[in-house]
Structure 1
Amino acid sequence: MKKSKGKKVLILAVLCMFLASIFVQEKAVVAAETKGTSRLAGEDRFETAVEISKSGWKTGANTVIIARYDDYADALVSSTLARAQNAPILLTRSNSLNNQTKKEISRLKAKNVILIGGKVAISDKVINELKKMNLKVERVGGEDRFETAALIGDKLGKSSDKAIIVFGFNFPDALAVAPYAAKNGIPIYLTKKDKLPDVTYNKIKNKKKNYIIGFEEVISKSVADKIPNAQRIGGEDRFETSANIVQTLEKSGSDAFVATGEDFPDALAGASLIAKLDSKLLLVKQNKVPDSVKQKIISANLRSFTVLGGEKAVSKKVENELLSYVNNNLSLKATRIYGIPK
């Protein structure tokens, strides 16, 4: 009888230890998920693009988009093409191909490269380097940024009855809308502030819906009046514009990517990945989440963030700020994919 009672006590003790271990493990997992910060590190913007590519195209990619690392005009309108081709966006200098970019192309086992921009943006030297890697290379570039955007739109075919029009001489608005455009197959076209280029008008005149990104400070009323079936989305600044794009066009989903709104390469390289993951992009300052973005995070119940860029682009302070907005009632999982802008 005593032996039976002893066995019961022993079994109960073992069971309690087992349940306790499960509880501790579960608690540890929850804590890890809540804290949940990890980093994919790069030395510069070239490696940032490579790390993004590795994250989204682990098993390879047939096609790669290559854009110039220091010139936003051609590159930013390429996001929709990148998504259509299921291609990562990698970066290059004007006259030479970066070694990190070369290695990533090899890892991807890519067969095709689409080079964005004319010879002034990216020289034939880069094409020659790519051809030595036994790659089929296609250049998409026009006489200027407006024509290049139109040519990229042409490569998408007639799949979308919508278009997006952004100011052609600054990057933030195009940056903010690029992931939405990419995942919905919508071409991005460029305009001047006070004049709508003919090449742009000819591409948008028959669209059923045209989104104008930015208020009248960047695209004037006179230009907007010439755009048929138009809806304008803007904000008091680039940060509020990015929040309003999410608020207006991307209402579902609890995750978002976060990037600096003060430079373009990190978010540019991330646009195709953001679209692939059906996520969205919010722009922040290096050391602060602007109030308009904060309000969007809270009202949209966003819970998971991937930070693009190193601490010189998006600081640890911002990461902590993101955590503080959600710590009381949400579980935040933050991942950092970053490099150091130069």
Structure 2
Amino acid sequence: MKQWLGLAATALAAAGLFQASTVEAAEPIEVEKVEAQNTYEEEEPNDGREDATQVPLGSYISGEFSDEDVDYYRVEVNGDTTVRFTFHLFEYIEEKTDMKFQGRLLSEQGEVLSPYSMNGNEYGYIESHLLDPGVYYMKVWDEANLADGSTYYLGTGAELLDASAERIWGVDRYWTAANIARMGDADRHSSENVVLATGEDFPDALAGAPLAEHLDAPILLTREDKLPEITEQVMNTFDTEKVTILGGTGAVSADVETYLENDLGMEVDRISGKNRYETAAVIAERLPERDQAVVAYGRNFPDALSIAPIAAGKGMPILLTEQDELPEATEQSLKNYGESIAVGGTGVISSDVLAEMPEAERISGKNRYLTSLAVVEHFNVGGVKASFATGSHFADALAGSVNDVDQPLLLTPKDELNEEIKAYVKDQEMFRFNIFGGTAAVEESVEQELEALYE
């Protein structure tokens, strides 16, 4: 249960002025409600840390910006545990403000701290941090520099660290992929492009995440011979105009392609090769130039999918290999890159193959779960959010791979978290989790473990 140390949730929402991905929206709050809270006034001069105005945690303070003014406020976080701290700036009326608020949180030594969430618009500015007990400073200003005597409000609040998990799933893999596309990206209400892969096998789809990110497209799944109704429904909802099919007619039939073109009126582009290795190489050709490529084992899916969100975020192609031999298509494609990363141990990519790769380094763990962790650690993808998918089946992780690019995608056993992954997540103070797939893929016990991390 959330335990508030200060500002109420409705106040954090700042009259519903910020996107739901940042804070929960609320009804507009009247000025009188501010006055009913603990409200203080700015004490000038407060133009630096040495003369910052003290702000009790969980209170409001009002102030004014003079010409080229920058105001500093001091706040102290007490206790003995990490908290989620938020401050927000607003004019606190129901109309938009002409001020363009900006703020930064500083350590006691004056170092600018990076928020895990921030948002600013014509109504105000808000940002959130994970903070240990100590003294901090808020530096705030008006980029518009109106200096017209308007009053602004600064609100602060904190809550104890509390993990939450959101499960994105459907009755089958096609529904799950559709729901990830619709619900996983809070900002996606339409998509001109869609990447379509078979939901029945993984080979042609393994390299698809970087392409989907490049096209700003979700990955949806289809049966070999018939487009599922839910997949068509999402395409219609998104006003999709172009579908990129991954794989040949053995993966997604000509009947599906014809249906997309003739019945749904969509432009269709099929990317395929004679085999999975050629398909991955052709996909790589569609991506912007990069110096580094990823190489993963082509006979199984876990390693390629573990690195897919990071590869997508960095625009790195995912090429495929046999264990003991670098396929011709992969070898030729690698000539376009100065560096490469092999994902997986020698059981899937031999030392001989590694030696043929340009400026190669290996990322691996003792099993598929720890390889997914090794990927996250290697790229040091910090933040407060991580996604989980079963390590036993490919479909949920594939669809989720473009849900949060450059974010950790960790594989999990069906019924419990890997202990090393659990320790890592807690050590990194992650607390927002997505679970891709229903309880048949990732049981409720895993969800419960995640939500109980900080109890």
Q: TM-score, normalised by structure 1?
A: 0.83
1:144 corresponds to: 275
CA positional deviation for 1:256 = 0.6
Q: Give per-residue Cα distances to partners, 1:139-170, cap 9 Å, x unaligned.
A: 00010000000000001142x11100000000
CA positional deviation for 1:298 = 2.3
AA matched with 1:213: V
Structure 2: stretches of 5+ with no match in the other structure: 1-32, 39-57, 59-156
1:93 paired to 2:223: yes
Structure with the bigger percentage of strand: 2
AA matched with 1:123: S
Structure with the bigger percentage of helix: 1
CA distance in structure 2 between the aligned counterparts of 1:279 and 1:152, rounded to whole angstroms: 22
Structure 1 contact 250–280 (Cα < 8 Å) conserved: no
Q: Name whichever of 218-227 and 246-255 sits farther off.
A: 246-255
1:173 corresponds to: 303
CA distance in structure 1 between the aligned counterparts of 2:351 and 2:164, rounded to whole angstroms: 46
Within the candidate set 247, 261, 272, 1:117 is matched to 247
Within the candidate set 320, 337, 341, 2:448 is matched to 320
CA distance in structure 2 between the aligned counterparts of 1:54 and 1:308, rounded to whole angstroms: 13
CA positional deviation for 1:72 = 0.8
AA matched with 1:51: N
1:186 corresponds to: 316
Q: Name whichever of 260-269 and 292-301 sits farther off.
A: 292-301
AA matched with 1:256: A
CA distance in structure 1 between the aligned counterparts of 2:160 and 2:440, rounded to whole angstroms: 25
Q: Secondary structure of 1:109's partner?
A: coil
Structure 1 contact 266–309 (Cα < 8 Å) conserved: yes
CA positional deviation for 1:174 = 0.6
CA distance in structure 2 between the aligned counterparts of 1:222 and 1:307, rounded to whole angstroms: 37
Within the candidate set 65, 77, 80, 2:207 is matched to 77
1:297 corresponds to: 425
Q: Give per-residue Cα distances to partners, 1:242-290, cap 9 Å, x unaligned.
A: 0010001133212111111111111100111121xx4221111111111
1:153 corresponds to: 284
AA matched with 2:231: T
Q: Secondary structure of 1:231's partner?
A: strand
Within the candidate set 277, 282, 292, 2:410 is matched to 282
1:52 corresponds to: 180
1:163 corresponds to: 293
CA distance in structure 2 between the aligned counterparts of 1:301 and 1:62, rounded to whole angstroms: 36
The alignment-based identity, stated in percent, is 35
AA matched with 1:200: T
Structure 1 contact 211–230 (Cα < 8 Å) conserved: yes
Gap change, CA 1:63 and 1:195, over 3 Å in 2: same
AA matched with 2:451: L
CA positional deviation for 1:315 = 1.1
CA distance in structure 1 between the aligned counterparts of 2:298 and 2:427, rounded to whole angstroms: 31
CA positional deviation for 1:295 = 2.6
Structure 1 contact 76–268 (Cα < 8 Å) conserved: yes
CA distance in structure 2 between the aligned counterparts of 1:76 and 1:32, rounded to whole angstroms: 39
Gap change, CA 1:187 and 1:41, over 3 Å in 2: closer
Gap change, CA 1:94 and 1:33, over 3 Å in 2: farther
CA distance in structure 2 between the aligned counterparts of 1:319 and 1:202, rounded to whole angstroms: 43
AA matched with 1:195: E
1:307 paired to 2:438: no
Root-mean-square deviation over aligned CA pairs: 2.1
CA positional deviation for 1:38 = 4.8
Structure 1 contact 207–229 (Cα < 8 Å) conserved: no
Q: TM-score, normalised by structure 2?
A: 0.63
Alignment of 1:195-274 (within 5 A): 195-274=325-404
Q: Secondary structure of 1:225's partner?
A: helix
How many residues in Structure 1 have an aligned counterpart in Structure 2? Answer: 301
Based on CA coordinates, which of the two structures has the bigger radius of gyration?
Answer: 2
Structure 2 contact 161–431 (Cα < 8 Å) conserved: no
CA positional deviation for 1:71 = 1.1
Within the candidate set 233, 250, 254, 1:103 is matched to 233
AA matched with 1:281: L
Q: Give per-residue Cα distances to partners, 1:32-76, cap 9 Å, x unaligned.
A: 994745555521111111111112253200100000001111112
Q: Name whichever of 181-190 and 290-299 sits farther off.
A: 290-299
Gap change, CA 1:157 and 1:34, over 3 Å in 2: closer
Gap change, CA 1:61 and 1:32, over 3 Å in 2: farther
CA distance in structure 2 between the aligned counterparts of 1:125 and 1:293, rounded to whole angstroms: 43
AA matched with 1:208: G
Structure 1: stretches of 5+ with no match in the other structure: 1-14, 24-28, 329-342
Structure 2 contact 168–434 (Cα < 8 Å) conserved: no
AA matched with 1:146: Y
CA distance in structure 1 between the aligned counterparts of 2:420 and 2:328, rounded to whole angstroms: 35
Which structure is higher in RCO with an 8 Å CA cutoff and minimum separation 6?
A: 1
Structure 1 contact 239–292 (Cα < 8 Å) conserved: no
